[in-house]
Structure formats: C-alpha cells, structure tokens
C-alpha cells in the first residue's frame, strides 16, 4: 500500500481550525521515489489547520554541483528562496511557505565559515535566519548518523566552536540536532555562547531503537534536558518524535495512529518541556515529510491541540505561533 493510501485510512475532524499556526520545521526535496516540493507541502498545510507560515530547515537538498565545496550548500538556499517567492506571490493560497530559511554551513571551517554565511544571506532575500549543523553520532550500526556525517564529539570541537562564534557575530540562529545521550555536550555549547539564539530540534533526539529502551531513555532524557532550564538562549521544537529512531513503531502498523494514540504515547515529552521551560521557549513543529512516515499532517496538529488543551490561551498562542515567529523573526 502506498504511503498516502495508508495515511488516508485515518481521518479526523479538525480541532480549532481557525487557530493561527507557524510550522517552524519542514523540509523540501526531490529525491528518486520521494518528492516533497511546494505542491506536496501545501497539500499537507491545506488539510484543515490554519498554517499561516512555515520555516524550512536544511536537508542536503539541491546543493551546487560546481564551484567551491564549502559554498555548495548555498544552492539549497537558492532553491528554497525560489519556492518561497512562488508562495509569497499569493497564487498558491494563504500559507507563506519558507518565510524563514535555515540552511547548512560547515562550522568546521572555523572562522572561514563567514563567507558561506554571507553567501546564504545574499541568496535568500531577507529570509535566511541561521543554520543547522547536525551532530547526531552513535557507534551502534543500528543508529544512523546525521546526514552531515559528523565526527564524534562535534559540539566540543574547538574549530567547530570557532565557526559558532561567527554565528554570534553575525546575529544568526543555530538549530541543533543530535541524540539524547549527547545532551551534556549541547548544554556545554549553549552555556559557552549565551548570546546565540539556539533552537533544539525534535526534543534532543530521544532514541528508542538499537541498544535503547523507550522507558529508560525517557528517564535519562528528563534528567539530561533539565540542565537547560537556565540557558535562556535555548528554545525547543516540540515534534519530530514520530520518526523510526524514536522507537514507537507507528510505521509498522496496519493502520496509522490517531491523535488520541499519539497523545497517549508521546504527550509526556511535550508536557515536560512546556512545564519545565515555559511556552515562551517552546514551539510545536511538524518535521514533515519525515514524520509523515508515521502520521498525517492533520492528525499530527490535532495531537498538538489536544496536548495544549490544558494550557492558557496565551500559552497556546505561543506554542502554535508566537514563539516560532519571534525566534525566527517572521512577520505574518
């Protein structure tokens, strides 16, 4: 059964359809057998929830094939800028796709990364907000390392931190993506650069495959992530927890999960972050199309709305829209 047919088996009434949402984390790509461009994105964002705008996050897509290897990721910014311009024309509906762009630049270039960051900024027509340099590494063959092919201990590397200092100097954001057992390294990085706005993706990657047990991971994750409570420069993307590596196994089922099932299994991660760090530091994210392996866009945002039901209206506005647009400096 095709993925779209599998997902279509579960449909739900859209909760709070008028609530404004900024989706601060999705990808765009055109791989053999896997296409997710503007049409596919808008089919998801147009499935019932009020998605006002979105933020694109790098995914090793459409790199330049000529010129300096260091500058090759600028091709991705050029590609997304074109899609963002199409969306901004108004011919494709109300959602402003890729209103913010988070690109890739190799921070192991050290101080020389400034040229790459400047090139991203020039290519984006005021949409470039910062970068992500994924650091997910594990010795187990059962856990795939990040697409950036990082070395072990990347966030502690002196040259990496030289590059990170350029983000500080240029006023750019940093999206962090790694696995939960690396949280201590991330805390050290965040404390070393208190003036850099840092966004922690996907709850800090709690693993539930390979050598990891879901329950043991949750306990370890709670203890480790709590160390960020005083790092006011760190914000949290709440989502991206339905990937295969998280261990829930949704993709193996005959039927995809309902929002009630997702709430039952995953709400404790969301509630822990919101209650520990505050809604003004947290934002719901789709992580599509990666999480589309497990659930539909409409069901996912219903899940978020059910989780958020116990919070105040001000907190809901932050979680669904205001934190993301503030952190990424996006106007409606």
- In this prediction, residue 93 has a pLDDT band, given cuts at 50, 70 and 90, of very high
Is residue 244 one of the residues assigned to a domain? yes
- pLDDT, mean of residues 217-242: 97
Look up the CATH number of the domain holding residue 169: 3.20.20.140
Is residue 3 one of the residues assigned to a domain? no
Is residue 210 one of the residues assigned to a domain? yes
- pLDDT, mean of residues 212-220: 96
Tell me how crowded residue 112 is: count the other CB atoms within 10 A of its CB: 14
Q: How many domains does the chain fold into?
A: 1
pLDDT score, position 331: 85
Is residue 12 one of the residues assigned to a domain? no
Determine the structural domain holding residue 180 and report its residue range: 18-327
Is residue 323 one of the residues assigned to a domain? yes
pLDDT score, position 283: 98
Q: What percent of the chain has pLDDT over 70?
A: 100
Is residue 169 one of the residues assigned to a domain? yes
- In this prediction, residue 156 has a pLDDT band, given cuts at 50, 70 and 90, of very high
Is residue 7 one of the residues assigned to a domain? no
pTM for the whole structure: 0.97
pLDDT score, position 84: 98
- In this prediction, residue 279 has a pLDDT band, given cuts at 50, 70 and 90, of very high
pLDDT score, position 73: 98
pLDDT score, position 13: 98
Q: Which two tokens stand for residue 20?
A: 């404004």
pLDDT score, position 2: 87
Is residue 55 scored above 90 in pLDDT? yes
- In this prediction, residue 141 has a pLDDT band, given cuts at 50, 70 and 90, of confident
Average pLDDT, the chain: 97
138 φψ region: left (φ > 0), alpha (ψ -120 to 50), beta (else): beta
Condensed to tens digits (0 to 9), the pLDDT of residues 282-330 reads 999 999 999 999 999 999 999 999 999 999 999 999 999 999 999 999 9
Is residue 332 scored above 80 in pLDDT? no
């Amino acid at each position: 059964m095709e993925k779209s047919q599998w997902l279509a088996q579960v449909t739900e009434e859209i909760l709070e359809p008028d609530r404004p949402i900024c989706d601060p984390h999705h990808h765009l790509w055109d791989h053999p057998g896997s296409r997710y461009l503007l049409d596919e994105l808008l089919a998801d964002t147009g499935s019932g929830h009020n998605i006002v705008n979105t933020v694109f996050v790098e995914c090793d897509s459409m790199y330049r094939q000529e010129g300096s290897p260091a500058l090759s990721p600028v091709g991705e910014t050029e590609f997304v800028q074109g899609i963002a311009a199409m969306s901004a024309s108004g011919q494709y509906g109300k959602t402003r796709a890729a209103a913010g762009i988070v690109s890739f630049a190799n921070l192991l270039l050290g101080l020389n990364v400034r040229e790459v960051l400047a090139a991203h900024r020039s290519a984006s027509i005021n949409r470039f907000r910062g970068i992500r340099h994924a650091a997910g590494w594990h010795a187990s063959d059962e856990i795939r390392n990040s697409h950036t092919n990082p070395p072990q201990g990347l966030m502690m590397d002196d040259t990496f931190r030289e590059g990170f200092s350029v983000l500080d100097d240029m006023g750019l954001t940093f999206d962090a993506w790694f696995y939960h057992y690396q949280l201590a390294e991330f805390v050290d990085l965040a404390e070393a650069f208190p003036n850099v706005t840092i966004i922690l993706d996907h709850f800090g990657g709690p693993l539930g495959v390979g050598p990891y047990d879901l329950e043991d991971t949750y306990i370890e994750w709670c203890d480790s992530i709590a160390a960020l409570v005083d790092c006011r420069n760190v914000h949290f993307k709440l989502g991206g927890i339905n990937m295969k590596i998280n261990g829930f196994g949704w993709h193996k089922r005959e039927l995809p999960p309902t929002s009630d099932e997702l709430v039952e299994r995953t709400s404790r991660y969301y509630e822990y972050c919101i209650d520990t760090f505050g809604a003004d530091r947290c934002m719901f994210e789709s992580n599509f199309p990666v999480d589309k392996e497990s659930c539909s866009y409409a069901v996912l945002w219903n899940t978020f709305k059910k989780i958020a039901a116990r919070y105040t209206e001000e907190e809901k506005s932050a979680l669904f829209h205001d934190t993301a647009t503030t952190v990424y400096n996006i106007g409606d």
